[in-house]
Structure 1
Amino acid sequence: MRKLRHLAALVLAAVLALACAAPASAAFDQNTLNGIVMIRTGAPDDDGTMNYWQGTGFFVGPQGEDPQYIVTNCHVVEEFILAGKALGGGELYAVFDKDSEQEAYLVDYDAEKDVALLKLEKATDLREPLLLREPEEAMLGSEVYAVGYPLAADITIQAVTSFSKDDATVTTGSVSRFLTESGTGRRLIQTDTAMSGGNSGGPLVDGSGAVLGINTAASNLDQNLFYAVSISEILPILDRNSIPYALYEADTGSNLALYGGIAAAVVVIAVVLVLVLRKKKAPAPASEEPKEAQGTPVLRSTAPQHAGQVVQLHHQPVQIGRDTAVCRLVYQEGTPGVSARHCQIYFDRREGVFVVTDLGSTYGTFLADGQRLTPDTPVKLPPKSAIYLGEAANTVCLEVE
């Protein structure tokens, strides 16, 4: 038994050594630079003199395809909008380098959330789309990187610059807080990652290069506090305009060796115990873990006002109603039977079901057979189900594509 305990101790030490060898954080992914672009805007003043500003944007779209759509801050293109856009003499360009730029067009924006969506006339092969990743509370303290074209960097040092992706500035810091802004409901990421004018609109990325937020502002009270708008604020605009994008999926491959080593050590201990103690009791069969549902869960509205709009479900519940500040599937003001915050839906991947909760709506949330849901009581529904808000004309289909 003494030898057995000694052997088990050695194996356990090996397990702990493997665990301690796990990487603490990932380095900056250089491929991120392939997805950013400088945004140049211009607008005439009252005397007709053109004034120019610069900011940063990043491309979104399906992986492996030439991108056409750019995400940035609304305040980056604010002067262009106020000038009356191109018809009012405004200019808006995506600058790839000093010899290459392409005119951009404003697709949609939300001034309160400070997000905007731009489009090039044609897709470009000079850049690549970046992956998007909704932040999670577990990311507090994790390392992040702000990427952009800060104007201060070019003013402080008169560097030779081409405004290409290789001239972008990368600063590093960590996530210190997630918060919701009072008055707007805007979700923000607080970080100590340094930013300055020109960084606005650029991506705040994790070590894998996935975009967590849109670099937005520095604190007026603390020089070490900076803010990025959560990437979850641009997703409703992308969905509303049927713009395709790619979400980050965790890669467990980097931990495969670690988990394999731990598993092997555990097996060794188990075998030694069996041989020494001569236990003849058959091991209990391993319980099967429930398989997560495959495919993309979506909400498909059949209301004429939505024209077949599809909303993808990600990690967070989606609210439905008339309140544009919090709802991702938004009904027009005055739609009969629909409250401001009517109901919410999320998808439980482990069980493969949609979970619907009425949020105390005035006219109720109903199943397809007419049964009214009890307010604030979650109800599980399988894919290919349907609900309606107040009236059958406001039907939403629950599907997995």
Structure 2
Amino acid sequence: MKKLRILGVTLLTILMMGLAAVPAMAAFDRTVLDSIILIYAGAPDKDGVMNYWRGTGFFVGKEGEKPQYIITNCHVVEDFILAGKASGGGELKVMYGKDDEEEAYLVDYDYEKDVAVLRLAEPTDKRVALMMQEPSEDMLGTTVHAVGFPQAADLTVEAVTSFSSSDASVTTGSVSRFLTESGTGRKLIQTDAALSGGNSGGPLTTENGTVIGINTAGSALDQNLFYAVSVSEVMPLLTRNDIAYGVYSEKGSSNMTMIIAIAAVVILAVVAVVIVMSKKKKPAQAQEAEGKKPIPVVRSMAAQHNGQTVQLHNQPIQIGRDPAVCRIAYRDGTPGVSSKHCQVYYSEGDNAFVVTDLNSTYGTFLSNGQRIAPNVPTKMAPKSSFYLGDAENTIYLDLE
């Protein structure tokens, strides 16, 4: 038994070391801040009085080279365009800091797609270029970050601000839908990462710091719905104007991460078995021989639950993030876990646990990685396990 405990500790140590080498799952890549810029656009009204609007932009270009070109929303510079640009008295500037600004020039724009490309007179060493990545359907549900300079943040609290990248706001959410806008054919990304005035034109980035969208607007009907224009809508403008830009490639960047992730799943399963075997309890067969009826139990192997075990008594239990109904409740924000994710009960006649996925967003999986079909009861033998969305959310089933 002592050897089993030593083995368990050793494997757990290896796992922690491996996971330490993998970037944190919902971490924001702070290098994104080194690319964004505050944009000021001004235009005179009919009386010649200048009015100003502000938005956000980000630099694109070849990785490692000084950038010169900026992407933003067309509506950020719309009044500058309508005024006749600089010849009509309009002004267009980018700000690196409170007393550090530079004139920018309009290169091209697409009003229907709501994208625009600006340039500086010369490449700058004050910012770096971001890599772009065309979004794909397999990104649905993944974590994204919206970065920009929302004006409401400065109006709500009178903060001391320098308008530098360190004053940018970062909001986090997930990709909830990909859609095409009727009438324009514009490709949009729907997210719950909060946006407000001033955020327009800023990047919507993945956890690896690549840009998949240009933050554009919020819904007038639902305060939790926000939209970004896919970067695929601005790439034709860059190509048309012979502007080089970097595209993210996963080649060679994720081999080690994949190996560690697979090893983590295997080690987690082994650790689960070791922990169970090391329990100083009689096996179910021995209990039956003594006339004692074994009790079906559900045990969470997640670190946040510290070995929480729930006994099953006739009724099914639910597992998820909603503590009001779930017997095993994960913290809000736990990756891969829905509010009411799945339910479990024990069928004495079948001598099996029955697991049902409650149409969760991220799925319920057997230990071998096979996804359980939603709303379809799946029988599982004692001493087996499954996980919610991610192997770190493993649930172990047993009779004690």
Match of 2:384 in 1: none
Does structure 1 residue 151 correspond to structure 2 residue 151? yes
Q: Please say if residues 218 and 226 of structure 1, whose CA atoms lie closer than 8 Å, have aligned partners that are also in contact.
A: yes
Tell me the TM-score normalised to structure 1 length. Answer: 0.60
Other-structure match for 1:252: 254
The code of the aligned residue for 1:170 comes to V
SS of the residue aligned with 1:152?
helix
Paired residue type of 1:92: L
Equivalences for 1:179-328 in 2 at 5 Å?
179-250=179-250, 251-255=253-257, 257-258=259-260, 261=263
Equivalent in the alignment of 2:174: 174
Q: Which letter maps to 1:182?
A: S
Report the AA paired with residue 97 of structure 1: G
My pick for the range that moved more, 244-253 or 206-215, is: 244-253
Aligned residue runs from structure 1 range 31-42, under 5 A: 31-42=31-42
Q: Distance in 2 between matches of 1:259 and 1:38?
A: 39
Cα distance change, pair 156–254 in 1 and its aligned pair in 2 (3 A): farther
Residues 224-277 of structure 1: per-residue CA shift (max 9 Å, x gap): 000000010001111111100011112214515426848999xxxxxxxxxxxx
Query: Separation in 1 of the partners of 2:29 and 2:220?
Result: 30
> Could you give the per-residue CA deviations for residues 120-146 of structure 1, whole angstroms, max 9, x where no partner exists?
001110000001000010001100000
Alignment partners' CA distance in 2, 1:165 and 1:114: 24
Partner Cα separation in structure 2 for residue 101 and residue 197 of structure 1: 21
1:134 maps to 134
Give a deviation string over 1:258-305, Cα, whole Å, max 9, x none.
26848999xxxxxxxxxxxxxxxxxxxxxxxxxxxxxxxxxxxxxxxx
Match of 1:120 in 2: 120
Q: How many angstroms does 1:26 deviate by?
A: 4.0
3-state SS of paired residue (2:257): helix
Equivalent pair of 1:26/1:208 in contact (CA under 8 Å): no
Partner of 2:295: none
1:95 aligns to 2:92 (yes or no): no
Deviations 1:337-361 (A, max 9, x none): xxxxxxxxxxxxxxxxxxxxxxxxx
Post-superposition CA distance 1:155-204 (Å, at most 9, x none): 11111101000000000000000000000000000000000000000000
SS in structure 2 at match of 1:121: coil
Contact 1:144 1:174 in 2 (8 A): yes
For 1:256 and 1:225, locate their aligned partners in 2 and report how far apart those are by CA, in whole Å: 33
Secondary structure at the aligned position of 1:81 is classed as helix
What letter corresponds to residue 193 of structure 1 in structure 2?
Answer: A
State the distance in 2 between where 1:57 and 1:253 align: 33
Q: In structure 1, the residue corresponding to 2:119 is in which secondary structure?
A: strand
Q: Following TM superposition, by how much is the alpha carbon of 1:18 offset from its aligned partner in structure 2, in angstroms? A: 6.2
253-262 vs 230-239, which deviates more?
A: 253-262
- Matched with 1:344 is none
Q: For residues 223 and 262 of structure 1, do their structure 2 counterparts lie closer, same or farther at Cα, with a shift above 3 Å needed?
A: closer
Structure 1 residues without counterparts, runs of 5 or longer: 1-6, 266-401
**1:63 is paired with a residue of what secondary structure?**
coil
Q: Percent identity?
A: 62
* SS of residue matched to 1:247: coil
**Given residue 252 of structure 1, which amino acid in structure 2 is its aligned partner?**
S
Alpha-carbon distance in 1 for matches of 2:26, 2:53: 34
* Secondary structure at 2:104 match in 1: strand
Aligned partner of 2:376 in structure 1 is none
1:56 and 1:202 in contact (8 A); partners too: yes
Question: 1:358-397 alignment to 2 at 5 Å?
Answer: none
Q: Distance in 2 between matches of 1:140 and 1:257?
A: 23
**Distance of aligned partners of 1:260 and 1:181 in 2 relative to their CA distance in 1, 3 Å threshold:** closer
Report the counterpart of residue 60 of structure 1 in structure 2.
60
TM alignment of 1:66-81, pairs within 5 A: 66-81=66-81
CA distance in structure 1 between the aligned counterparts of 2:57 and 2:255, rounded to whole angstroms? 31
Q: CA deviation at 1:25?
A: 2.2
Task: Give SS of 1:75's match.
Answer: helix
The one-letter code sitting in structure 1 at the alignment partner of 2:28 is F
Gaps of 5+ in 2: 268-400
- 1:45 and 1:256 mapped to 2: Cα distance? 57
Instruction: Judge conservation of contact 1:74–1:111 (CA < 8 Å) in 2.
Output: yes
Partner SS state of residue 175, structure 1: strand
Could you say if the C-alpha distance between residues 46 and 248 of structure 1 is closer, same or farther in structure 2, counting changes exceeding 3 Å? same
- For 2:87 and 2:201, locate their aligned partners in 1 and report how far apart those are by CA, in whole Å: 24
> What CA distance in whole angstroms lies between the structure 2 residues aligned with 1:175 and 1:42?
33
Q: Structure 2 vs 1, CA of residues 182 and 258 (structure 1 numbering), >3 Å: closer, same or farther?
A: same
Measure, in 2, the Cα distance between the counterparts of 1:153 and 1:112.
28
For residues 23 and 160 of structure 2, the distance between their equivalents in structure 1, rounded to whole angstroms, comes to 37
Distance 2:101 2:123 in 1: 13
Q: CA 1:263–1:145 in structure 2 vs 1: closer, same or farther (change >3 Å)? A: closer
What residue number does 2:162 align with?
Answer: 162
SS at match of 1:239: helix
- Aligned-residue Cα RMSD (Å) equals 2.6
Equivalent residue, structure 1, for 2:382: none
Q: Which residue of 1 aligns with 2:110?
A: 110
Task: Report the residue type matching 2:260 in the other structure.
Answer: L
